[in-house]
Structure 1
């Protein structure tokens, strides 16, 4: 059964001004903007309303009613910005929150109220927190958005409407509660239909003929037989678990307990669908309205609670609980299928050696960053700088094999760099070479190890590689590109460094 909460901010913009400028408290003021060459009231505070000021009045008329009226500039973008920010804050109560311009929010509270002990304490907590923050709000909960919206704005009855009482809750309300356009409201007023009960029982063809399809649509949205679209400010992650705290959590031990419970729930769901997460985010909502988060990533899909907890554990110290955390949300934004081979890989009971390798890679990445560990596979190219590809997964298999019996350096330059040499000819290693303005005298050399260019490169030259050692004991991998000859003076390059 769907449950929605509608929140109405009766003085949204002026409440915000009072929070920013407390000196305005108790003083009547309005927000004004120019319309058709006249300054018009766009929003007014509670004191101004009590004095008879209304939205839409010309400022000159408003000052005639209240000479001491303060006038402030109206910002047309403020309402949406403010409602979006408050909607982000209310995500602690439900993952689905939508902005209802110009002065409301809609919360999809389905399945959320029990976490606060029921619908009454749930709604009471939301309204209480907003009022404490300085906003004049009213709210209601019902089975449809339309009924919740109507009751929050036009009813003084009990604000929680059960499914069987939705029609009854609407009967005594004015037609405005159905969010009807102005022309339809005028027709209803001329006919003396001042309450919904005056026309709700009329035959549908009659309502359509007199007031148009919009009347049936709005009645249907309020009563639940017409679907109403709902666009949350933040799309919900398919794999998400939430854990509210009865008392604010301030310690690392409390955070660890909450994290482990969330991981158990999330991994149980993932395992049931043969999936594993590649990325996870823990969001901690504090009672001061701030949110702190930490995230982890894995080299492959995982649903191992123990392994994921260890990755998060490395980052828990970075969470600042301040006055306490009241809600934990664990999301898995990146999820991948978990094949049978992967299930064995991530099983803690598995004897597969890749388990230890994968967990080690994840821990290293969590400590030092995602770029600290790389895996390379052979590629079908002769030249060393092109003879490998970066593997993206432990499951990637080589399409070819490394083809060399000669030692290769532990550090290979991305591209060979030019050096100047003094070498006997034709096929001897250099006696001296200069690299980065430093002269190295060669004391020992092994080679040459010839590497040809690919056959499809018509002008490709071969390389003759030498492993040389200078007078300080450092060892280098250098090569000559091509042969010495009458029409060719080969160039020398350094390509790597031995340990």
Structure 2
């Protein structure tokens, strides 16, 4: 069943201003001022300004008098629209093949079949909110069965909203009619008539409303409740490489779908070859006769122009296509492309054996598995000395430099243990870890590791003393004491287990 995610960017104008000028302090309140003739009013205000009492529609002079330290910036709708388009294109590469701009302050995407790749709907919407926050973008996220319901819920709540499938009516019936995406004049007239909520409007006979306001109210209600489809037209740019095939008679057989997908792959590769590009991610968008869409995404770890391989990646997943009453159009879009140069094959009589594992990586990646390599990082702090990189990335020249042994397994986070030890620099004689008491038979250390003061001030004095210990059963652990054992400013003097040796 179709599931739609709506992302509401309430503070897009002020977030854009902050991103353009990183020197603006986080605590600085910002208001965006629009003008028409001699009138000037607040068209957007960030959280700090709203907390001070500034709101949208307030005269600019009153806002400035209300908050002396308020930063006023002239509105620029063109730059806001361009920023929203860039953000939407970024979301297209990350989340779903069907992503579009929703008004002037939002993004909408069809995530049918995409949530399982990110651990379910809760994990997916949480990840979306966190990634937007990491980009210094304030976002409210909602997911529902329809575009209208997700749009309304994202704007009605300050928290992430997940509307269970089939519960659209319960989720939206008490929301204000202003969230029904109707013209402002219609909303104003409906309020004059006494309508306040979507539920009240939905339970009113349709004929009188249509006679007075036209079919728009009924259409929006039907779209919200899923009675009529509301297709999402994916965002495209002039540089987007896309090929399509429309059918006079709808198709539905798996063999027929695969045949035309293969032909579209050939056309796409030809376009890529003309531009010297290779595809990293491609989307197959299936348009059905009932107005709904279904999408399949295939990605590669390296840019490719291999017709057979790209066609195989799609054929492996076309079985998930549900043609319904038939498919009337297929679109194949190159979402991510990179320059790709043809390599000349060796002319030697003896071919060198080259082991290329990228096809295997592509297969696992398209099944939703996260494939990566681990590379060393120049850091003495154990949890910082590794990083995840692309499985096809160039070899990393950095190597680990250490004269001390390291455990074969490093715990995700150091785990608190109870230890009996003589301060300041003696190893523990016994520890209790995960509810089990262990007597230490042998120990080696300490190895002192200092905090990286250039990262943050809290590590200016911090130290850790690491020991390799062996218990009565022969298990060897990597433990450390936080602090130097004398000065509490260097650490709490508590003990932790950080790794396990072979």
Task: Calculate the TM-score normalised by the size of structure 2.
Answer: 0.50
3-state secondary structure, aligned to 1:32: strand
Aligned equivalent of 1:167: 169
Question: Is the contact made by 1:146 and 1:221 (CA closer than 8 Å) also made in structure 2?
Answer: yes
Query: Residue 268 and residue 277 in structure 1: after superposition, are their counterparts in 2 closer, same or farther (change >3 A)?
Result: farther
Aligned equivalent of 2:61: 60
3-state secondary structure, aligned to 2:233: coil
Aligned equivalent of 2:116: 114
- 1:41-76 deviation digits (Å, cap 9, x = unpaired): 222111111222222332212112223222123222
1:7 pairs with 2:7: yes
Aligned equivalent of 2:45: 44
Map residues 138-287 of structure 1 onto 2, 5 A cutoff.
138-155=140-157, 159-234=161-236, 270=258, 275=263, 277=266, 279=269, 281-283=278-280
1:303 counterpart (308, 315, 318)? 308
3-state secondary structure, aligned to 1:164: coil
Query: Residue 198 and residue 157 in structure 1: after superposition, are their counterparts in 2 closer, same or farther (change >3 A)?
Result: farther
Q: Which runs of 5+ in 2 are unaligned?
A: 245-254, 273-277, 283-298, 314-331, 335-339, 346-502
Q: Residue 237 of structure 1: CA displacement?
A: 5.4
Structure having the higher Rg: 1
CA RMSD of aligned residues (A): 3.6
3-state secondary structure, aligned to 1:366: coil
Aligned equivalent of 2:89: 88
- 1:423-444 deviation digits (Å, cap 9, x = unpaired): xxxxxxxxxxxxxxxxxxxxxx
Q: Residue 104 of structure 1: CA displacement?
A: 0.4
Q: Matched residues in 2 for 1:366 and 1:54: separation?
A: 58
Q: Matched residues in 2 for 1:27 and 1:184: separation?
A: 37
Q: Residue 3 of structure 1: CA displacement?
A: 1.2
Aligned residues: 282
Q: Residue 97 of structure 1: CA displacement?
A: 1.0
Q: Residue 26 of structure 1: CA displacement?
A: 1.0
1:32 pairs with 2:37: no
Q: Matched residues in 2 for 1:197 and 1:307: separation?
A: 48
- 1:242-261 deviation digits (Å, cap 9, x = unpaired): xxxxxxxxxxxxxxxxxxxx
Question: Is the contact made by 1:277 and 1:332 (CA closer than 8 Å) also made in structure 2?
Answer: no
Query: Residue 294 and residue 80 in structure 1: after superposition, are their counterparts in 2 closer, same or farther (change >3 A)?
Result: farther
3-state secondary structure, aligned to 1:72: strand
Aligned equivalent of 1:73: 74
Aligned equivalent of 1:264: none
Q: Residue 116 of structure 1: CA displacement?
A: 0.9
- 1:350-394 deviation digits (Å, cap 9, x = unpaired): xxxxxxxxxxxxxx981269xxxxxxxxxxxxxxxxxxxxxxxxx
Q: Matched residues in 2 for 1:306 and 1:171: separation?
A: 46
3-state secondary structure, aligned to 1:135: coil
Query: Residue 223 and residue 366 in structure 1: after superposition, are their counterparts in 2 closer, same or farther (change >3 A)?
Result: same
Q: Which runs of 5+ in 1 are unaligned?
A: 240-266, 286-290, 309-330, 334-363, 370-499
Question: Is the contact made by 1:282 and 1:293 (CA closer than 8 Å) also made in structure 2?
Answer: no
Aligned equivalent of 1:97: 99
Q: Matched residues in 1 for 2:333 and 2:210: separation?
A: 47
Aligned equivalent of 1:360: none
- 1:100-149 deviation digits (Å, cap 9, x = unpaired): 23110011111111111211111111111111221111011111100000
Query: Residue 121 and residue 237 in structure 1: after superposition, are their counterparts in 2 closer, same or farther (change >3 A)?
Result: farther
Question: Is the contact made by 2:133 and 2:139 (CA closer than 8 Å) also made in structure 1?
Answer: yes
1:366 counterpart (321, 342, 363)? 342
Q: Residue 294 of structure 1: CA displacement?
A: 5.8
Task: Calculate the TM-score normalised by the size of structure 1.
Answer: 0.50
Q: Residue 292 of structure 1: CA displacement?
A: 11
Query: Residue 215 and residue 120 in structure 1: after superposition, are their counterparts in 2 closer, same or farther (change >3 A)?
Result: same
Q: Residue 164 of structure 1: CA displacement?
A: 1.3
Q: Matched residues in 1 for 2:310 and 2:57: separation?
A: 59
3-state secondary structure, aligned to 1:77: helix
Q: Residue 295 of structure 1: CA displacement?
A: 4.3
Q: Matched residues in 2 for 1:306 and 1:48: separation?
A: 53
